[in-house]
Amino acid sequence: MPSYEADHAEFERYDAQVLGISVDSAASHVAFAKSLGGIETYPLLADFHPKGEVCRKYGVYREGKGSSERALFVIDKQ
């Protein structure tokens, strides 16, 4: 995650927005960001309720574990 922070200017150059998403709660995201010394340039989104709805749509939700795979998607604005 810190490497995305370091490359923020490069993402801006391509008019791209980085988003972090997981099935963890918003409070968990705050703790995670603090553990990394803060995340300043992109939001962390909670796919918490209904749990995993977005992850399911992208085919990365692990039903048996209640979590998602680590994955990276590049999606254009359209």
How would residue 31 be classed by pLDDT, with cut points 50, 70 and 90? very high
Q: For residue 63, what pLDDT is reported?
A: 93
Strand-pair partners of 62: 67
Q: For residue 51, what pLDDT is reported?
A: 94
> Across the chain, what does the average pLDDT equal?
90
Q: What's the whole-number mean pLDDT along residues 26-31? A: 92
Do residues 65 and 22 touch, judged by C-beta distance below 8 A? no
Do residues 30 and 4 touch, judged by C-beta distance below 8 A? no
How would residue 40 be classed by pLDDT, with cut points 50, 70 and 90? confident
Q: How far is CA 25 from CA 12, 18, 28, 56, in A?
A: 28, 19, 5, 17
Do residues 37 and 43 touch, judged by C-beta distance below 8 A? no
In this structure, how many other beta carbons lie within 10 angstroms of the beta carbon of residue 61? 19
How much is the pTM? 0.75
